[in-house]
Structure 1
């Protein structure tokens, strides 16, 4: 959110409060691999219910914000009607991250490109659950990054604008790292003191490596920053005083509303910018951030959670009884 401020609050704020904020998406992809692996044990995993629940999680808000964007900004968008339609179809199908150029990767609700990447990861997830496939994929991706000739990296960026930022193939490095990280977490149970040291050390390492890696090519930087991102996730997945702080009701609510914050703040800031102009950055920025947070909580409570619960509800009482009577595979069953 703070990374987008200079782009969507130029008149009222015009500052760059978090110039490296785009790295938050890198962290998100690692965290996503970790959490999905944690939530879906292979012993009782079934692909179709997984796909249904993932669709209920991300698509309603994606479509809602897409419609709001069309209502508010479609007429003023400077591209031709054909370009708008092409980008709109790709956005509707949530495959726009597969197409090169900002017409697709940043078209309509610009932040939704990462949702397109994530949906592709959802499609691949069942294939990566068995055995050590996620670990093997991560090793392969890391080797490709390390051994890639500079000319190849430049060519990829020329063929696909900002390939290592937007394309799902480039982001598989982080998603597979998150899944592999979960296997490490399952086998390590440190004391609370060790967990706290890891948490603080990860934060310190992040503060050091973010500026130190700024001059690296994008693909190498993504690999280097896996170290602090991985330690952050490990540290906070273990118990410790900082973990308890983030487990309080307000922190949990803000976490639950974070997807809505991500999907709505870009449009909200664009709308607020002319109204906040003249107040000064010291006033305009906190007002805009507070408005974005409050809107995200409202969207989560009034739209996102109710719609998700509705879509995840069994089709009928009879359907529920059938599911309840279905035996769970034992031993090495994969469902």
Structure 2
């Protein structure tokens, strides 16, 4: 049975869990482990594999773009609506936060005051096209450079399938060349992490055309593999950077494919809390790093320092996530509606419906 559902509650929940993993990683490794703050390793560094939430997001992005826009490939009239949907999903909310971060960076001893902003860095940050400076103006924005590159490649396939095949082939060749030490692409384009978008496209194709090959048990296998890789990463690292990301991506693809195939057979009941976190995941992802920076300042308060470290960690993570959820409802949703009215959809319908999960 082919998958036709337009919204998958389990995948929405997965987005929320992935965003939470990234928050836990940064809270543990970038706040509590720092000597300026608690100088403590939380649970022996257990959450330090949370960066793999990004791998899940990349696979999910490939899946969602294919799920919603595969029918647009070879239909150039639909390209404008594809571009519109992608730009409105990514840029307005991101620019809102980016402008705030830049403004704070210009204040003495303000947020990111240690980062020297150059014109090239700022321009690159606004357009999300390389070169990627390290660090980026907004710490997590490096992932959006990869996301936009994938959208450009997919947009080319919409305009011309043949050109899309050439671009995809050249991109994969560039990644392989970089892995072999002969790079001809900018470093972020030659990074093997970009292959995770293809994992997402591949698992979409499998879930649509052969869902019977994806029993729900594979979601548990993927979850177990994801956690095992996380423990390898934290406590006994063996794999290389590229291999680990590809394995995290493979585990993510199993989880996504099996859950989607299961939802094609019968709905999966999902906690409303996880659904809310999933809906707010983009806001949580974009806001959490600067919010963590502000919340961490509470360490200077004696009463906060007197709290048990575990309790302080839970409170910091909870406040950071709640701030992201509040931003989603108070800023992201109204801003998305306003920009959608400002740039209405064109006449050629794009894909098979609205994009419920199409953000990184």
Do they superpose with TM above 0.5? yes
Query: Kindly tell me: are residues 282 and 293 of structure 1, through their superposed partners in 2, closer, same or farther at Cα, counting changes over 3 Å?
Result: same
Q: Please state how far the C-alpha of 1:57 moved relative to its aligned partner.
A: 0.9
Could you tell me which runs of 5 or more consecutive residues in structure 1 were left unpaired when the two chains were aligned: 330-335
Match of 1:187 in 2: 209
Alignment of 1:1-335 (within 5 A): 1-5=23-27, 6-9=29-32, 10=34, 11-12=37-38, 14-15=40-41, 16-43=45-72, 46-75=78-107, 76=109, 77-80=113-116, 83-95=117-129, 98-99=130-131, 104-128=133-157, 130=161, 137=168, 141=172, 145=176, 148-149=179-180, 152=181, 163=187, 167-170=188-191, 171-190=193-212, 195-212=215-232, 214-239=237-262, 244-246=268-270, 248-276=271-299, 277-278=304-305, 279-313=307-341, 323=347
- Over aligned residues, Cα RMSD in angstroms? 3.6
The alignment covers a number of residue pairs equal to 302
* CA distance, structure 2, for counterparts of residue 117 and residue 309 of structure 1: 25
* CA distance, structure 1, for counterparts of residue 258 and residue 284 of structure 2: 25
Q: Please state how far the C-alpha of 1:84 moved relative to its aligned partner.
A: 3.3
* CA distance, structure 2, for counterparts of residue 21 and residue 109 of structure 1: 18
Query: Kindly tell me: are residues 252 and 131 of structure 1, through their superposed partners in 2, closer, same or farther at Cα, counting changes over 3 Å?
Result: farther
Q: Please state how far the C-alpha of 1:182 moved relative to its aligned partner.
A: 1.1
* CA distance, structure 1, for counterparts of residue 350 and residue 255 of structure 2: 35
Q: Please state how far the C-alpha of 1:38 moved relative to its aligned partner.
A: 0.4
Could you tell me which runs of 5 or more consecutive residues in structure 2 were left unpaired when the two chains were aligned: 1-22, 352-360
Q: Please state how far the C-alpha of 1:263 moved relative to its aligned partner.
A: 0.5
Q: Say which is worse superposed, 206-215 or 44-53, in terms of deviation.
A: 206-215
Q: Please state how far the C-alpha of 1:235 moved relative to its aligned partner.
A: 1.3
Query: Kindly tell me: are residues 14 and 265 of structure 1, through their superposed partners in 2, closer, same or farther at Cα, counting changes over 3 Å?
Result: farther
Higher RCO by CA contacts (8 Å cutoff, separation 6 or greater) = 2
Query: Kindly tell me: are residues 243 and 110 of structure 1, through their superposed partners in 2, closer, same or farther at Cα, counting changes over 3 Å?
Result: farther
TM-score by length of 2: 0.72
Secondary structure of 2:291's counterpart equals helix
* CA distance, structure 2, for counterparts of residue 89 and residue 107 of structure 1: 11
C-alpha distance after superposition, 1:206-231 (max 9, x if no partner): 23344457322222333333321210
Is this contact kept in 2: 1:26–1:174, CA < 8 A?
yes
Query: Kindly tell me: are residues 211 and 73 of structure 1, through their superposed partners in 2, closer, same or farther at Cα, counting changes over 3 Å?
Result: same
Is this contact kept in 2: 1:31–1:233, CA < 8 A?
yes
Secondary structure of 1:29's counterpart equals helix
Is this contact kept in 2: 1:195–1:239, CA < 8 A?
yes
Q: Please state how far the C-alpha of 1:20 moved relative to its aligned partner.
A: 1.3
TM-score by length of 1: 0.77
Q: Say which is worse superposed, 215-224 or 22-31, in terms of deviation.
A: 215-224
Secondary structure of 1:168's counterpart equals coil
* CA distance, structure 2, for counterparts of residue 146 and residue 304 of structure 1: 39
